[in-house]
Structure 1
Amino acid sequence: MRFAISFIVSCGLLAGTSSGFAREGVEVGGNSTFSKLVPAGDVERSAVQQYAQMLQQAAAQNALGRDDHPQVQRLRAIARRIIPFSYEWNPRARDWKWEVNLIGSRQINAFCMPGGKIAFYSGILDQLKLSDDEVAMVMGHEIAHALREHARERMGKNAATSIGASVLSQVLGLGQTGQALTNYGAQLLTLQFSRQDESEADLVGMELAARAGYNPQAGVTLWQKMGAASGGAPPQWLSTHPSGSTRIADIQKNLPKVMPLYERARKG
């Protein structure tokens, strides 16, 4: 099994390459080739089902924000500004049926499932008292996970591991992905992203927010608030997520790459 995974890495297939020309903004390289082991359309259809079930459960508990709720309108307005800048990162995003909903819960959380299915929990807005700029940073981060197909990548890695080296060639030819997807589709709401995925989403999300006219410096205050709210969170080496101080440092390091985009958007 280790040989199979090592073979992929040694062949240079683990991560895509850049398109060879300079662009404004952050630099994160291409999407992982592991994501190609699972058909994008199948993942997105599974996400639609999972998202619909979640909304039904929330509605049954009277916890789904109404369309006229001020926070729902606020979230959707921010999304409308960010979404057009997603297309460069993933051509499929242009055809996604984007949705933004608010779930009544004290959880400090938000997510964007494959296919543009966004949900915010009221706890992240109420407890952290997020500004619009900070909401845009959260939303950009979550959208970035979908654009970079991190869930699809995790499913691909799981599929490669479970199927094994004996049929790896068939997987690379997409011959067995349908069955693999069936086994992992139910995990969309529980998949754990790697530190690299989280760091990548921070940077891509920061750029999306900046291009939409939201101040990327809000990433610093956002993670300061997150750090204060998490209290005794485990140190970075015990967590799949980068520590708040690491995230803040990475954001500050990359601010010069995105501030011109923000200034241009603000003037426009």
Structure 2
Amino acid sequence: MNKKILMSLCAAGAVTISGCTTVADMAGADTATLNAAATQGFNKTVTEARNSNTLDTSSATYKRIYSVFTRLKPYADQMNQTGTKFDWQLAVLKSPQVNAYVAPGGKVVFYTGIVTKLNLTDAEIAAVMGHEMVHALEEHSKNKVGAQALTDLALGIGLSAAGVGQTGTAAAQLGSQIGIGLPYSRSLESRADQGGLMLMARAGYNPQAAITLWEKMNKLEGAGGSSFLSTHPSNSQRIDAMRKNLPAAQQIYNQRR
């Protein structure tokens, strides 16, 4: 396919994920580059949080998040088809923000506010983390960086290989640099929803919790929303789609009991 045609279609959302990731590779945002940028940004995030005493390494909330993280990791590794082994790492930040993401290469960032404000169960934490892990495992950030590169190219805006250069804290910069700050497309969200259900079920968490999680998100959205919801649309259609995928995930969960 002619590169100009591919770029136009990708920007319009009319090609496959592989099409947009190819464009990202052409723009210099290949897997190795994105993973390296994410690692550098993650390390900066940890250092900044430690220096400001906002890195949580001992609270009850941290221990719950860490427990879910270690339980999901081996199953996430089984799902990894990127050809690159992930170096999974976790940073829990003391913050009222309702937010969480997983950067390329397995860098997990969780804000305590998403657990405390939503009063999440361990299974609901697994639903959040599993969903985000699938975004990383399927390299959805690469897809977004590619699409953003095309959009900016069409507008005549220069992009660095890492994507968007925004100001803010290291955690916010990490999100923006590897595309997390850009809204995911509906198709990528659906893939992460479905994959997240399967991942949490394989790890022994009841996938029904994904439904209650997004129901809580819907209530929060009505109360003013959150950072998490800015890139993760929460609506009834999304919940209905997850309900259709529940039987397969529930079967996996039931087999583990």
Q: TM-score, normalised by structure 2?
A: 0.79
| Pairwise CA distance, 1:243 | 3.4
* Corresponding residue pairs, total: 230
Cα RMSD, aligned residues only: 2.8
Deviation digits for residues 38-81 of structure 1, max 9, x if unmatched? 31011000001111111222222211002x33322222221222
Q: Of 196, 204, 210, which aligns to 1:205?
A: 196
- 5+ long unaligned stretches in structure 2: 166-175
Corresponding residue number in structure 2 for 1:244: 235
Corresponding residue number in structure 2 for 1:14: 15
Corresponding residue number in structure 2 for 1:154: 144
For the residue of structure 2 that corresponds to 1:101, the secondary structure is: strand
What letter is aligned with 1:117? K
> 1:101-120 maps to which residues of 2 (within 5 A)?
101-120=91-110
What letter is aligned with 1:76? Y
Q: Of 32, 55, 58, which aligns to 2:18?
A: 32
Corresponding residue number in structure 2 for 1:72: 62
Q: Of 32, 46, 65, which aligns to 1:41?
A: 32
Distance change in 2, residues 1:8/1:110 (3 Å): closer
| Pairwise CA distance, 1:219 | 1.1
| Pairwise CA distance, 1:205 | 0.8
Corresponding residue number in structure 1 for 2:161: 181
Conserved? CA contact 2:93–2:111, under 8 Å: yes
Conserved? CA contact 1:109–1:120, under 8 Å: yes
Distance change in 2, residues 1:128/1:243 (3 Å): closer
Distance 1:56 1:262 in 2: 38
Corresponding residue number in structure 2 for 1:173: none
- 5+ long unaligned stretches in structure 1: 16-30, 165-178
Q: TM-score, normalised by structure 1?
A: 0.76
Percent of matched pairs sharing the same residue = 36
When Rg is computed on C-alpha atoms for both structures, the one with the higher figure is 1
Conserved? CA contact 1:199–1:242, under 8 Å: no
| Pairwise CA distance, 1:242 | 3.6
Distance 1:262 1:94 in 2: 28
Distance change in 2, residues 1:183/1:209 (3 Å): closer
> 1:49-60 maps to which residues of 2 (within 5 A)?
49-60=40-51
| Pairwise CA distance, 1:212 | 0.5
